[in-house]
Amino acid sequence: MPSPRRAVVLLSGGMDSATSAAIARADGFEVNALSIRYGQRHAAELEAAREIARRVGAARHVELPIDLRAIGGSALTADIPVPLDREPASIGRGIPATYVPARNTIFLAAALGWAETLGAFDIYIGANAVDYSGYPDCRPEYLEAFQRLAGLATKAGIEGEGRFAIHAPLLRMTKREIVERGTALGVDFSVTRTCYDLDAAGSACGRCDACLLRLRGFREAGLEDPAPYRART
């Protein structure tokens, strides 16, 4: 019996990674979900990732501890305020305090290591370069560079067992398009958590960049965001 087409899917618990996982499944891959416990502020993200992995039918779901609080430098891993109530035009201009130094490089490196162990050559990440918050590691040129690195830095790449592919299916989508694509694929956005400042109950603030972009995407799609919020703008 032929081996399944395996992919490693980075799964944060947010709407983008949930949609990316659903796309990987629709593309015919066996989903192997990887979530990183990097010292993020709230456990609700990982709880969401577990539920998303279950709903997408992941063959495996690994939660890997890589505590980036020791490095700090971000509003998500250190005692730095999360920016709130920014004007839409200012989101994506400059690199905000919620940027976590080298986060996607660390996450993709972990995904690459697991992929090589699984005999997988496809990695999915929910990076987005259209409606995004100014992160340098969500740009197409960054992902292209990491894909080249994957071929140079692995035994599988050097010995010609296969070519690694970094899939970022949401890269050039607007948040509206992500909402529409996820909805078409049956993603239950009520279980996803995108907020940078979740409360203990897992309710979103409705005021950080992530919430503002997400809420705008749902409005533009003509849908109500089913996730819980403390406030909606």
Residue-by-residue DSSP string for 138-196: GSHHHHHHHHHHHHHSSHHHHTTS---EEE-TTTT--HHHHHHHHHHTT--GGG----S
Answer yes or no: is pLDDT of 222 > 90. yes
Q: State residue 42's pLDDT score.
A: 76
Exposed, middle or buried, 117 (CB in 10 Å: 0-12/13-18/19+)?
exposed
- pLDDT for the residue numbered 2: 56
The residue ranking higher by pLDDT, 204 or 40, is 204
Average pLDDT of span 98-108: 93
pTM: 0.94
Q: Three-class SS of residue 123?
A: strand
Domains of the chain: 6-189 (3.40.50.620)
Q: Of 129, 131, 66, which Cα lies nearest the Cα of 102?
A: 66
Q: State the average pLDDT over residues 39-55.
A: 91
Nearest to 113, CA basis, from 8, 221, 231, 232 = 8
How many whole angstroms separate alpha carbon 73 and alpha carbon 117? 32
Two structure tokens written together for 210: 């992530």
Can you tell me the distance from the alpha carbon of 37 to that of 13, in angstroms, rounded to the nearest whole number? 11
**Higher-confidence position of 67 and 90:** 67
Give the pLDDT of residue 117.
Answer: 96
Please give the pLDDT value at position 133.
61
| pLDDT-derived band at 231, boundaries 50, 70, 90 | confident
Mean pLDDT of the chain: 92
Output 232 or 4, whichever has higher pLDDT. 232
DSSP character at residue 208: B
- Residues in Cβ contact with 219 at an 8 Å cutoff, skipping those fewer than 6 apart: none
Instruction: Tell me if residue 229 falls in helix, strand or coil.
Output: strand
Question: Phi and psi at residue 31, in whole multiples of 5°?
Answer: -85, 125
pLDDT-derived band of residue 92, with 50, 70 and 90 as boundaries?
low
Rounded CA gap, 1 and 129, in Å? Answer: 39
133 in Cβ contact with 209 (< 8 Å): yes
Say if CB 128 and CB 138 are below 8 A apart.
Answer: yes
Adjacency order of strands within the sheet including 122-124: 60-65, 30-37, 6-10, 122-124, 165-167
pLDDT of res. 43:
81
> Among candidates 186, 195, 188, which has minimal Cα distance to 214?
195
